[in-house]
Structure formats: structure tokens, C-alpha cells
Amino acid sequence: MGSRKNPNKYDTLPCFECGAKCCRYVAVEIDTPKTKKEYDDIRWYLLHENIYIFIDHDNCWHIEFRTRCRSLADDHRCIEYETRPQICRDHGWPIGTCEFFASPYKVRFKTPEEYERYMDRKKIDWRYKRRPKTAKE
């Protein structure tokens, strides 16, 4: 992404072809779910808008918040390029893993149903057992 002082300096970077994908979400690594409560928490996350879960190529689990960076201009340039956070410098081209060249997703879930089908295919016992109704219910 380019500096406003020299707008053509970065025009050949992949950011302009991919639409600056890395500037449109925040992902945080989470513990791999192992218990029914943790499986259910994943389902709960996925019930919320603009929240996804993914497994990366190292089998690490992440929660992804689809939200645009405030510093991303309409032309896909970073208006804070010269003073951008280190995480941006480390992530982007050519140093880090740029989504233009390789997807960070091994598996990605957008809905609870996608996640449930995945768990069922893996034969993971993720469902809570339903309790029988009592006379008061």
C-alpha cells in the first residue's frame, strides 16, 4: 500500500489486485476446542454476524472478525502506511504471508451448520445430550 507522499511507489504490490484482503479482518488464535462446552462456544461465535472460525495450515484455530481497518482508503492504500503497526509490516508482502499468494485457511466456517457438518464428518461427539422434560416444563 502506498504512501500519500509518493502514490505510485507501491502500485505494483498485490494489495491493489486483491483489494487489501488482510486489511478487512482481524484474526486471533484460539485454543483448539476439545470439550462439549468449547465446541458449543464455537457454534455460539458463528451465530454472530461477521464472525468466522478457521483452521490454518498449521492446524491452529482462529476466530476471525470481518471488519475493515479504519486506515484503509477506498483505493486500497493505507493512510497510515509510514507509521502502521508492526503486525501490518510483518504480515504483508513481501515479508509475511500475503493472502494474494496463499490462503490462510485450511478450513473455514461461516455458519454453525458448516461447523456441525465438519464435526460430524470427523466423528467428534460435540453435541450435548438433551435432558428429558420434567413435569414443570
Let me know: does 19 contact 77? Beta carbons within 8 Å: no
Tell me: the pLDDT tens digits for 43-79?
999 999 999 999 999 999 999 999 999 999 998 888 9
pLDDT at 125: 92
pLDDT at 3: 42
The residues spanned by each domain of the chain are 15-120
Share the mean pLDDT of the chain: 86
Please determine, for residue 31, whether its predicted confidence score (pLDDT) is greater than 80.
yes
115 confidence band (pLDDT: 50, 70, 90): very high
pLDDT at 120: 96
Environment class of 1 (CB within 10 Å of its CB; exposed 0-12, middle 13-18, buried 19+): buried
Cα–Cα distance, 9 to 31 (Å, whole number): 40
Cα–Cα distance, 125 to 39 (Å, whole number): 9
The larger pLDDT score, comparing residue 89 to residue 35, is at 35
The larger pLDDT score, comparing residue 105 to residue 18, is at 105
